[in-house]
Amino acid sequence: MEQSFLAWLRGRQRDLPQVAVGIGDDAAILDWPSSRQLVTSVDTIVDGVDFLLDKHSLASIGHKALAVNLSDMAAMAADPVAVLVAISLPNQQATQVAAGIYEGILATAAEFGVAISGGDITVYDGPLAISITIIGQAAPQKAWLRSGAEPDDAVLVSGSLGGSILQKHLAFTPRVRLAQQLRDSFTIHAAIDISDGLLLDLDRLCAASGCGIELQLDQIPISDDAKTLSLQDGGDPLEHALGDGEDYELILTCPAEQAADILAADLGTPLTQIGVLTSRTGLWSKLPNKLIRLSPRGFVHGG
């Protein structure tokens, strides 16, 4: 299966200038400018945890496998270059499943100019699992970190939040282009993508930066899916927006004096200011006459 599938994949892969030697050798060779830093990340998604093979389309699963990695590049303001794709396939219909997964990966890679430079395929008696290592680049000392936020920074979030289980967790757009626009035109102090929930990922950013946040809960952008899900489960749309996870939007902090200019810019993706960072650590809901401490909540991965 492997040799015939690799031949098919080579025929589908576009030649991109950043890959000197790609699929077909023992390792890939990438051309790398000396003026750029290497940025890498890896994510694995597994049937029954991150998607349902018997319910979701193969192409959408492939898209998600790559898009979660692209979201990490966006959170670092890095330019994605190439990926290595490792797929562990269940025994049943392995070739058809691999081809369907790659249809989603190839389409997303083409959209973002990313080369598939290599990987691995295994067939075994177990669930479908896809592990992608992404390789990106950034100008020296210009990548965004979680640890760069400062007290009095404005806190912005892209898009809308909550209810991702209905469709977004498989169909989101990683905010690579938004990050590139912001990086090139404004000052961003810190960033993180929302993979596990707004409050949980906000808490991680604040902890890394030694800050806290005063949140304006009435400014949280709640998605239509969060409202639909609340009608189905009797929950609160705001609670879904605060803790559902898998939104893959960006949390950004910037100097307060730049916030209005960023919000007014035509970036193709809506941004909302949801709060202000403070020297008081923790997550706080800002009310007219008091602050109420919030508990970070969201999806916590098992150890």
Is residue 71 annotated as involved in ligand binding?
A: no
Is residue 5 annotated as involved in ligand binding?
A: no
Rg (C-alpha) for the chain, rounded Å, is 20
pTM summary value: 0.93
Is residue 299 annotated as involved in ligand binding?
A: yes
User: How far is the C-alpha of 255 from the C-alpha of 203, rounded, in Å?
Assistant: 19
In sequence order, the 6+-apart residues with CB closer than 8 A to the CB of 96 are none
pLDDT value for 303: 40
Q: Domains of the chain, with CATH numbers?
A: 2-138 (3.30.1330.10), 146-294 (3.90.650.10)
Is residue 195 annotated as involved in ligand binding?
A: yes
Is residue 218 annotated as involved in ligand binding?
A: no
Is residue 246 annotated as involved in ligand binding?
A: yes
Classify 129 as helix, strand or coil.
Answer: strand
pLDDT value for 6: 66
Is residue 196 annotated as involved in ligand binding?
A: yes
Q: Which residue has the tokens 């597994």?
A: 46
Is residue 54 annotated as involved in ligand binding?
A: no
pLDDT along the chain (303 residues), means of 10: 65 70 81 92 97 97 98 98 96 93 96 92 96 97 96 98 97 98 98 97 97 96 97 95 96 98 97 97 88 79 47
pLDDT value for 14: 63
pLDDT value for 19: 79
pLDDT value for 286: 86
Is residue 248 annotated as involved in ligand binding?
A: no
Contact 105, 65 (CB under 8 A): yes
pLDDT value for 2: 62
